Chain A
């Protein structure tokens, strides 16, 4: 009876939506997301959760498929020489405000990202991009100061999103809340922390074949509440389903759970710039004291995969399935601590945000490490403090999860080169930096893979980071909704439709 009621409720918006096709009310897809965006401007987007809206509001120059293969988006791409990338735009495209998507506007966008005065966090994504030159009304040339293999995939990311420069000039600081892009949907309204509504844009380059007239994003931070709203039919699609709910939902035929490996990793950074983790033996000891397979079973309920390095299984061409560095071994952990001259239980702290999942992981690690010669304290911080704690290196061990990139460069270069923006550990191995620089300039994919595997081996030795888990992207929807899941957890909902 309960099952029938739930199904009936979940079907209600579907019926309403079907009725809307007859011209009554707009067909609306209501989506539960973890957090409201901070900005709608891709130049300043730093929150992972903003992506949920970004790829519906904005469009990228190139497009990545779920398997990471690249296809033309707003433009086609060619690479006639290692240092030259040519982008040829589709003709007749406009932004949501009617201004043309042409070579001049693309150059203005990329120049804006690169201009130090803009202080855009996208600048680092472009690597050695030296100049953007307009060579025709619809042709732009990206000239590099060094070969940069990840560039095409970078252009499928936020760095490849272009916006109306007329709107940027007109709106100034208000562009962050009234952004004008050229994605499949345009901004209709945004009530902060309540609802952000997008409306179909008929000038979209793929044509006006949208599955829905409107997308309504509702921020609901509590995972239990998000799920309850999906089951009641208030929402038809939700992000970040808790792993413990997956098994139970298998029985619920009104809900469809979708999961796939993510591009990122869940890892903890050791602070290698101060005691006790300045000693690699102590870092290796801690790594040997913690069993990620228990974390995978107890905290992730069997979803995702145990991580041994930074290369995600979602990037098949670089991931090494057989890779298995020395793992959980409490006896080895104790021997390494003894070798480092540590006899009494070593007090260390693990800093995590107060998210229940992160605290649970820390508690599992705490119980295990305490058995192997450590005395672990778990420190909880507010999520907004995390980036400050990491950047100031105010920690012994600190959670540092990464959403990941399609190109392995994004999972390695930023993290393990001396000046990398995500090198929270303070790691400095010149050999690793050299390999990573070679990998981003190398055009031969096989040689790149070889370099990344060398890096992976060296990271197991140096242990600047403890790799724990490759989280699965777990999202859920009404069983009547058809949509495509991506390993970056981001929705491109142009093709979402009711079936």
Chain B
């Protein structure tokens, strides 16, 4: 499958961009020329130069080092919030879709409550109540992802529950848990994973929104969103402060979206 992904230009670009982001997140902080929170009050708002490739911010911190460090934050928030949404929303959706009846009604009405709020508004509300921090940002975004993944899982479970092989498993006397684990999950995993890969991109954007509004990752920990927030006051003096985190967000989100599209194409059973 990887070979097929690498052949198509769009998906190859997605793989490349995601690889760059993952590399930055994994090794960036180790390769950074400076500490991400290391101020140099004698070199504030320096433009890009040989010493500071992407310039420095208003406190003299190296923008490149902060972008690399921010990659880890963005990926961490994206992956953990999607994983949390997947671990909770997936089983809820599978159980609801497989069981049907009142179980389905109760579980999905709970999910509908979460879906009733626009994602960003829900995340804003949760961080406003819990307080602004990295952990609470992850919780908020996971809460946004949870009902989306539950809905997808439910739809898939409903479509397979009346298949012959499920009936056969029932006839053989297997319990619901075993059937869900052995038969329903493997046959519904692909669309759920595709949805999860697309949610990675939107989760990274949501983190950037929250941090931009001061409700996400708190300073001095760099995130691309709070770097953009800090850059606003200096658009006249140091416009590069807004460019680089913006480009980083663009590359990462584009990468995950292209990869998600490609995965969908590859895993589509009708294709």
Q: Do most interface residues of chain B lie in helix, strand or loop, or is the interface mixed?
A: loop
B246 within 8 A of A: no
Task: Check if A224 sits within 8 Å of B232, measured CB to CB.
Answer: yes
CA of A297 to CA of B41, assembled, Å: 9
- Which residues of B lie under 8 Å from residue A299 when comparing CB positions? 58
Task: Check if B233 sits within 8 Å of A224, measured CB to CB.
Answer: yes
Task: Pick out which of these stretches binds chain B: A5-13, A47-55, A355-363.
Answer: A355-363
With A354-B214, A356-B230 in contact, is A224–B219 under 8 Å at CB?
no
B237 within 8 A of A: yes
B271 within 8 A of A: no
A434 within 8 A of B: no
Query: Distance in Å from the Cβ of B230 to the closest Cβ of chain A?
Result: 7
**C-beta contact mask, A288-320 vs B, less than 8 Å → 1, else 0?**
000000100111000000000000000000000
- Which residues of A lie under 8 Å from residue B234 when comparing CB positions? 244
- Which residues of B lie under 8 Å from residue A224 when comparing CB positions? 232-233, 235
B236 within 8 A of A: yes
CA of A448 to CA of B60, assembled, Å: 44
CA of A366 to CA of B229, assembled, Å: 19
A120 within 8 A of B: no
CA of A367 to CA of B58, assembled, Å: 13
**C-beta contact mask, A349-376 vs B, less than 8 Å → 1, else 0?**
0000010110110011011000000000
Task: Check if B44 sits within 8 Å of A298, measured CB to CB.
Answer: yes
**C-beta contact mask, A239-282 vs B, less than 8 Å → 1, else 0?**
00010110010000000000000000000000000000000000
CA of A223 to CA of B220, assembled, Å: 23
Query: Distance in Å from the Cβ of A68 to the closest Cβ of chain B?
Result: 32
B106 within 8 A of A: no
CA of A294 to CA of B40, assembled, Å: 11
With A363-B219, A367-B39 in contact, is A223–B59 under 8 Å at CB?
no
With A224-B235, A366-B220 in contact, is A380–B132 under 8 Å at CB?
yes
Task: Check if A245 sits within 8 Å of B219, measured CB to CB.
Answer: no
CA of A363 to CA of B236, assembled, Å: 22
With A242-B233, A244-B233, A366-B220 in contact, is A298–B37 under 8 Å at CB?
no
Task: Check if B232 sits within 8 Å of A359, measured CB to CB.
Answer: no
- Which residues of B lie under 8 Å from residue A297 when comparing CB positions? 41
**C-beta contact mask, A316-360 vs B, less than 8 Å → 1, else 0?**
000000000000000000000000000000000000001011011
- Which residues of B lie under 8 Å from residue A244 when comparing CB positions? 58, 233-234, 236-237
Task: Check if B59 sits within 8 Å of A298, measured CB to CB.
Answer: yes
B residues 227-261 in Cβ contact with A at 8 Å: 229-230, 232-237
- Which residues of A lie under 8 Å from residue B237 when comparing CB positions? 244-245, 248
Identity of the chain A residue whose Cβ is nearest the Cβ of B237 in the assembled complex? A244
Identity of the chain A residue whose Cβ is nearest the Cβ of B229 in the assembled complex? A356
**C-beta contact mask, B42-65 vs A, less than 8 Å → 1, else 0?**
001000000000000011100000
CA of A363 to CA of B218, assembled, Å: 11
A378 within 8 A of B: yes
Query: Distance in Å from the Cβ of B257 to the closest Cβ of chain A?
Result: 30
Query: Distance in Å from the Cβ of B44 to the closest Cβ of chain A?
Result: 6
Query: Distance in Å from the Cβ of B55 to the closest Cβ of chain A?
Result: 15
Task: Check if A360 sits within 8 Å of B232, measured CB to CB.
Answer: no
With A354-B214, A380-B214, A380-B218 in contact, is A298–B58 under 8 Å at CB?
yes
- Which residues of B lie under 8 Å from residue A357 when comparing CB positions? 233
Task: Check if B59 sits within 8 Å of A364, measured CB to CB.
Answer: yes
CA of A266 to CA of B230, assembled, Å: 21
With A223-B233, A248-B237, A298-B44 in contact, is A367–B219 under 8 Å at CB?
no
Identity of the chain A residue whose Cβ is nearest the Cβ of B214 in the assembled complex? A354
Task: Check if B233 sits within 8 Å of A356, measured CB to CB.
Answer: yes
Query: Distance in Å from the Cβ of A409 to the closest Cβ of chain B?
Result: 35
- Which residues of B lie under 8 Å from residue A242 when comparing CB positions? 233
B residues 200-216 in Cβ contact with A at 8 Å: 214
Task: Check if B58 sits within 8 Å of A360, measured CB to CB.
Answer: yes
CA of A359 to CA of B37, assembled, Å: 14
CA of A341 to CA of B214, assembled, Å: 36
With A364-B41, A378-B219 in contact, is A356–B59 under 8 Å at CB?
no
Identity of the chain A residue whose Cβ is nearest the Cβ of B131 in the assembled complex? A379
**C-beta contact mask, A372-389 vs B, less than 8 Å → 1, else 0?**
000000101000000000
Query: Distance in Å from the Cβ of A59 to the closest Cβ of chain B?
Result: 37
- Which residues of B lie under 8 Å from residue A380 when comparing CB positions? 132, 214, 218-219
Contact of A367 among B44, B59, B235, B236 (CB under 8 A): B59
- Which residues of A lie under 8 Å from residue B60 when comparing CB positions? 298
CA of A356 to CA of B241, assembled, Å: 15
CA of A294 to CA of B37, assembled, Å: 17
Identity of the chain B residue whose Cβ is nearest the Cβ of A247 in the assembled complex? B237
- Which residues of B lie under 8 Å from residue A378 when comparing CB positions? 218-220
CA of A248 to CA of B239, assembled, Å: 14
- Which residues of A lie under 8 Å from residue B132 when comparing CB positions? 380
CA of A380 to CA of B58, assembled, Å: 19
CA of A298 to CA of B44, assembled, Å: 7
Q: Can you spell out 7 A-B residue pairs with CB atoms less than 8 angstroms apart?
A: A245-B236, A299-B58, A354-B214, A357-B233, A366-B220, A367-B39, A378-B220
Q: Which 8 A-B pairs have the closest CB atoms?
A: A354-B214, A367-B39, A356-B233, A294-B41, A298-B41, A248-B236, A298-B44, A244-B237
